[in-house]
């Protein structure tokens, strides 16, 4: 048995909310099993005339339940199967969305943010390090910094140093435990990647108060 590969063109969608001449563009990557439009609704508190919110959707969709009466659909950025190819695909995809959005704007006048929630946090981390899109600020919310991202690569580490990195997590988040957080911050510190932490009272969820805090800078 031999494995073969072909490259194909396919359709991918993203959703936007906000002004057409923004001072800020926020790329928001959803978590596992979510859809972009529903995730974007949770970020509506950030919507104003000076901010454009962009929510790309993971390239792989699936049914969340087996119930024949409620066939809810979610999306994922990747699985462990053929993972390196899926990572490369979504990095190229996010670069394409970036070009599509920023191509209509004066990049010099716009601050670009990338927010990733849960699985979207690892997605945004890899995109920042491995992609070609300059990102000014990165927010990793309720998700782990990818442990396999090679920070000994000078170009990866430099891109992450150039982005203002913020770690947001609920103090009762069952996924971002103190042990996980310590592992993440130790790696970032070892490679001189600056960051700040914003903990809040809550679990694996978005928090309106923290979103407003992030919007204020």
- Residue 126: what pLDDT? 98
CB count within 10 Å of CB 63 equals: 11
- What's the predicted TM-score (pTM) here? 0.94
The predicted structure's pLDDT at residue 65: 84
- pLDDT score recorded for residue 49: 84
Beta strands in 133-217 (DSSP E): 137-141, 164-170, 195-200
User: CA-CA distance, 194 to 40, in Å (whole number)?
Assistant: 28
Q: Are residues 45 and 72 in contact, defined by beta-carbon separation less than 8 angstroms?
A: no
The parts of the chain modelled with pLDDT lower than 70 are none
Q: Which domains does the chain have, with CATH numbers?
A: 14-215 (3.40.50.1820)
- Give residue 67's pLDDT: 75
């Amino acid at each position: 048995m031999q494995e073969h590969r072909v490259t194909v063109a396919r359709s991918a969608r993203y959703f936007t909310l906000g002004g057409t001449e923004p001072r800020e563009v926020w790329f928001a990557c959803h978590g596992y099993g979510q859809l972009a439009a529903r995730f974007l609704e949770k970020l509506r508190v950030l919507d104003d005339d000076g901010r454009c919110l962009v929510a790309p959707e993971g390239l792989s969709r699936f049914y969340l339940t087996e119930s024949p009466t409620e066939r809810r659909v979610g999306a994922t950025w990747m699985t462990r199967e053929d993972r390196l190819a899926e990572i490369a695909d979504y990095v190229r995809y996010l670069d394409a969305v970036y070009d599509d959005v920023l191509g209509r704007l004066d990049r010099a006048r716009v601050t670009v943010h990338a927010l990733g929630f849960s699985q979207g946090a690892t997605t945004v981390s890899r995109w920042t390090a491995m992609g070609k899109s300059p990102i000014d600020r990165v927010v990793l919310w309720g998700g782990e910094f990818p442990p396999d991202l090679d920070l000994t690569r000078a170009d990866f580490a430099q891109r992450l140093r150039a982005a203002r990195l913020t770690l947001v997590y609920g103090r009762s988040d069952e996924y971002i435990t103190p042990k996980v957080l310590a592992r993440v911050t130790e790696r970032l510190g070892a490679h001189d990647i600056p960051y700040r932490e914003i903990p809040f009272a809550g679990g694996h969820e978005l928090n309106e108060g923290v979103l407003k805090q992030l919007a204020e800078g």
